[in-house]
Amino acid sequence: MNDTKPAPPSTALSSAVSSAPAAELNTPSPSASEPGKTRRIRPSHAAPDDVAYPKAIKSFVRRAGRTTTGQAKAFEDLGPKFLQPYQASLLDYAACFSTPGATDTATARPTILEIGFGMGEATAHIAGLMPEKNFICCEVHEPGVGALLKRIGEQNLHNIRIVAHDAVEVIDHMLAPNSLDGVHIFFPDPWHKKKHNKRRLIQPGLIAKLAARLKPGGYLHCATDWQPYAEQILEVLSAEPLLRNPAAQTHPELAGYAPKPHYRPLTKFENRGIKLGHGVWDVVFERV
């Protein structure tokens, strides 16, 4: 999810791949005829140049951030209940969301995955709006995790579990096929520069993984305020055979985009952008 504004390029969003890129190294060339001449050595674990979306590329960068006193206290008080550790095995949703003394069963509740929630404002809003649904939320930025834990306590929410880990590894190892009722990806890092577009989270490989984990009739909802990224998202989702675009029939005037669903709140940043004439694009597809 997003904070009160879309995350800047350095914000830690969930990863589109499994390992971080390594920088090239400058090392003295033993065969160099000129003193001090260097040669470029590619690390052995870096991806080949001809790979379009190599495994070495991440869509997020872990950036430093200050955890406030309130967030630190939320980690201490609420972390044991609402932080779900990463595990290399399928997650038991019922056990994950079980609450001692609860009269209902978590098994029957729809389960929504959220990737990259920023500081958790929209996440908490949606979870409070839909208490009958459970939300598995991935974010690697520690202050953001602390902020959402703090909101959980302040708003007395019980239907959120946070996995502070790379979202792709969570998808690969913790989420069973045909088990999710929805996926939210709000304002992922747009990586504005063309040379950085390959770092964008929304790529065919990730969408194929997510589509396979949706139940038939489940939905995938992406939102962005960067039009070139919106066009890419629409193109990638349209190419996935397990997904269909209901908005193409119900709202043909929107050229494939969807009206903003009622549950996604308008953030302060979005309201400001609307006043300035900026656009926000929602893309909502369903699993066939």
Q: List active site positions.
A: 189
- Do the Cβ atoms of 222 and 200 come closer than 8 Å? no
The contacts of residue 51 (CB under 8 Å, 6+ apart) are: none
CA-to-CA distance for 81 and 229, rounded, in angstroms? 36
**Tokens found for residue 108:** 């029957």
**Tokens found for residue 267:** 């953030």
CA dihedral 229, 15, 183, 66 (to 10 degrees): -100
| Beta strand residue intervals within 1-154, DSSP E | 25-28, 38-41, 111-115, 134-138
CA-to-CA distance for 122 and 269, rounded, in angstroms? 12
**Tokens found for residue 86:** 């990463």
Q: Which residue has the tokens 């708003």?
A: 155
Question: What does residue 237 show for φ and ψ, rounded to 5 degrees?
Answer: -70, -35
- Do the Cβ atoms of 129 and 156 come closer than 8 Å? no
